[in-house]
Structure formats: C-alpha cells, structure tokens
C-alpha cells in the first residue's frame, strides 16, 4: 500500500516510523506548503516523492494519506483526499469547529473513502482496560468522572509560528492537549448533555491568544457528572489524570506521566487486580517535546496499523471521523459557555 503524508512538521516522523512498521506499506510521498520543507523531510527520511502542492501529492498514485498539518488546515487536507478518492487518517483534533468536522465526514462518506482520526491514547492498555471493564460489566453505570491536566508549556514552545493562536489551533490547552483525555472521558461516559466552562489566559498572555487555563463541569446524558481542570502553566508539568466511577463506587483511573505514557493509577474494580503504579511527579523523566513524541510513538504505531488494516479489510477504523466529533463538541461547548457565561445544552 502506498501512503503519503501531508504536513512535514514534528509529528510527521512518528507517522513515517509507524507506517514503515506495517508490512507492505511504503511511505511514498510527502507534501508541505512551506517551500523546501517537504523536500528536506523526504531527503532526511528516504521518501521518493515530495511536493509543495497537495493535489500533486494526491495524484501521485496513493492509496491513503495521513494529515499532519495544523488544526485549521485539517479540513482542506481531508476534503482534498476525498476529492481524489484517497483514504485519510487525520491528526487530532478532527477540526477547529463542528461545521468543518461535519463537512469532512460528509465528504469522506460521499467519496466512499475510509476516514480515521488519531486519538492514539485510546490504544494505551490502561485506557483499553477501562473500556473493557465497561464492556464486560465489571464497571457498571458510571456516575462520575474527571480529568486533571497539569501541564507545562513554556515560552519557547509558544514562540513557534502558529502555536497558541486561535487562527492555527482553534483554542488552547483544551483543543490542543486535553482533547485526547476528553475523548477518553466521552468514550467511557457517552454523550454529554450540558456543559459549563470557564477559560482564561493567565500566564502566557503576552505570547498566545488562547486559553492556558480552563475548568469545566460536564453533565452526561446518563446523568453522570464530570469535572475537567486543565492548564499548561505548571512547572514542572505534573501529567494528566483521567478517572471514572460507577454507582457501586468502583473506580478506575489512569495517569499520563511522563506525557505520552499512560498507566493505571486507580483500580477498585471487581475481578482480578490490575497492577497499579505510583505517580511520581517531577521525578526526573524527560519532559521535552521530542521526548513526549517518542513516548507517543508506540501508540501512533498501533492506531496507524489499525487504519492500514481497516483499509485493507474494507472496514471502519478504530476511531472514525464520526467517533472523533463528540470530543470537539464538548470542547466547543466549554468555549461557548466561557464566552457567554451560560450553560451550553448539547
């Protein structure tokens, strides 16, 4: 299978490694709109074709493409793939707003292509363990859940062009970092029905025009209530916790620390005990962005292998475009609630 990559920035190298790990997959082409970037990336990674033109990339005989561009450019990449009948796996978030997301899903459906979205944290064993306990009934009706995201992003991170801007990213800590964990929360708790949130730029205000601090209260259709606390203002970053609890008080949780690595941190669920790891904040792991991307690589590999298999087996991928929408809907509702000072009903 010939696969291309659109957008030759930081995360694209995880895609190259993950695609090459799948038997019979060739990373055949790359494109990037910044002059010279695709050719430099192709040279560095031994990729035979590079272009600055998305249409030329998609006309180079590809079966599938992965989209690794900034958030605001996801829609254009996916629509182009649909126009050319090329299956597409898009990085998170699906888009910067719901209107874009729905156009992308419709275009992929009309074109008859497979459309997946990267939420590779769903592939952590610690995340799947919770889903499996829900599926086999060891966890019952969930009544509560939460996310605490205490992250560090410094001035150097935000100094990169586009980072921390509404124009390129559509928002801040919620849409860029914590959408993964909001996706996990809704994977476990189902659809949200009411969202109240507050967002602020409290520390990085000179450099970014999006939130670096957010809090939200989410009521799910089941009646369960969850809270979200998220910020990129911690020094050092202390990782992210996600937990859920059922009507019998059984609780399952995971911690992501260092960023990219998820492990079970709470497990009071009936059945065989699971190994629970201690949380050791600030105890010395490499918390730089390249290290975070390295930690994520095995899970990118799992989701990309699933996407390739989905194309080959003519089935839906593990996370479809449609599956990826609700996390964005929740984030958008937090933003709308914060702007209007009201509770948003979904």
Ligand X SMILES: NC(=O)c1ccc[n+]([C@@H]2O[C@H](COP(=O)([O-])OP(=O)(O)OC[C@H]3O[C@@H](n4cnc5c(N)ncnc54)[C@H](O)[C@@H]3O)[C@@H](O)[C@H]2O)c1
Tell me which residues touch ligand X (CB under 6 A): 6-12, 31-34, 37, 54, 68-71, 73, 76, 91-92, 118, 120, 176, 296
Shortest Å distance, C-beta 277 to ligand X: 21
How far, in Å, CA of 317 to CA of 309, rounded? 8
Q: Which is nearer to ligand X, 84 or 250 (CB)?
A: 84
Shortest Å distance, C-beta 12 to ligand X: 6
Shortest Å distance, C-beta 161 to ligand X: 8
Shortest Å distance, C-beta 3 to ligand X: 16
Quick count: other Cβ atoms within 10 Å of Cβ 284?
A: 8
Q: Which is nearer to ligand X, 149 or 269 (CB)?
A: 149
Q: To which residue do tokens 């970053």 refer?
A: 237
Shortest Å distance, C-beta 90 to ligand X: 8
Quick count: other Cβ atoms within 10 Å of Cβ 202?
A: 11
Q: Which is nearer to ligand X, 176 or 264 (CB)?
A: 176
Neighbouring residues of 68: CB distance < 8 A, sequence distance ≥ 6: 5, 6, 7, 8, 9, 11, 12, 15, 91
Shortest Å distance, C-beta 307 to ligand X: 13
Q: Which is nearer to ligand X, 269 or 330 (CB)?
A: 330
Q: Which is nearer to ligand X, 54 or 261 (CB)?
A: 54
Residue 60 structure tokens: 């180079």
Q: Which is nearer to ligand X, 6 or 228 (CB)?
A: 6
Neighbouring residues of 261: CB distance < 8 A, sequence distance ≥ 6: 295
Burial 41-59 (b: 16+ CB within 10 A, else e): bbeebebebbbeebeebbe
Q: Which is nearer to ligand X, 96 or 226 (CB)?
A: 96
H/E stretch holding 297: helix 289-313
Shortest Å distance, C-beta 314 to ligand X: 25
Shortest Å distance, C-beta 152 to ligand X: 15
**Total count of residues recorded for the chain:** 346
Neighbouring residues of 44: CB distance < 8 A, sequence distance ≥ 6: none
Shortest Å distance, C-beta 273 to ligand X: 30
Q: Which is nearer to ligand X, 135 or 160 (CB)?
A: 160
How far, in Å, CA of 53 to CA of 34, rounded? 10
Residue 98 burial by CB count (10 A; 0-12/13-18/19+): exposed, middle or buried?
Answer: middle
How far, in Å, CA of 274 to CA of 287, rounded? 27
Cα 100–Cα 104–Cα 109 angle in degrees, nearest 5: 150
Q: Which is nearer to ligand X, 222 or 320 (CB)?
A: 320
Q: Which is nearer to ligand X, 12 or 25 (CB)?
A: 12
Q: Are 163 and 208 in contact (CB under 8 A)?
A: yes
Nearest of 308, 325, 333, 334 to residue 103 by alpha carbon: 325
Cα dihedral sign, 127-106-197-156: positive
Shortest Å distance, C-beta 265 to ligand X: 20
């Amino acid at each position: 299978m010939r696969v291309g990559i659109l957008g030759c920035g930081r995360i694209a190298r995880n895609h190259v490694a993950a695609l090459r790990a799948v038997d019979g997959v060739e990373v055949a082409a790359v494109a990037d709109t910044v002059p010279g970037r695709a050719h430099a990336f192709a040279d560095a990674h031994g990729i035979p074709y590079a272009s600055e033109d998305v249409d030329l990339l998609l006309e180079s005989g590809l079966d599938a493409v992965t989209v690794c561009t900034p958030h605001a450019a996801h829609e254009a990449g996916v629509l182009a793939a649909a126009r050319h009948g090329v299956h597409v796996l898009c990085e998170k978030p699906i888009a910067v707003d719901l209107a874009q997301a729905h156009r992308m899903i419709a275009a992929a459906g009309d074109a008859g292509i497979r459309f997946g979205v990267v939420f590779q944290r769903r592939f952590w064993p610690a995340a799947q363990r919770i889903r499996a306990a829900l599926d086999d009934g060891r966890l019952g009706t969930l009544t509560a859940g939460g996310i605490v995201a205490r992250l560090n992003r410094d001035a150097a991170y935000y100094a990169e062009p586009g980072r921390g801007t509404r124009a390129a990213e559509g928002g801040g800590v919620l849409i860029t970092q914590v959408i993964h964990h909001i996706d996990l929360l809704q994977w476990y708790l189902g659809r949200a029905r009411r969202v109240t949130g507050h967002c602020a730029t409290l520390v990085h205000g000179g450099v970014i025009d999006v939130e670096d601090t957010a809090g939200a209260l989410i009521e799910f259709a089941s009646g369960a209530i969850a809270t979200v606390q998220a910020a990129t203002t911690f020094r050092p970053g202390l990782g992210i916790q996600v937990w859920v609890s059922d009507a019998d008080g059984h609780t399952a949780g995971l911690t992501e620390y260092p960023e990219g690595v998820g492990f079970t941190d709470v497990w009071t669920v009936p059945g065989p005990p699971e190994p629970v790891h201690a949380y050791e904040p600030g105890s010395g792991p490499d918390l730089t962005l390249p290290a975070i991307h390295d930690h994520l690589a095995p899970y990118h590999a799992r989701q990309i292998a699933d996407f390739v298999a989905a194309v080959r087996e003519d089935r839906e991928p593990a996370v479809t475009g449609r599956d990826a929408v609700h996390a964005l809907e929740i984030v958008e509702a937090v933003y709308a609630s914060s702007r209007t000072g009201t509770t948003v009903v979904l």
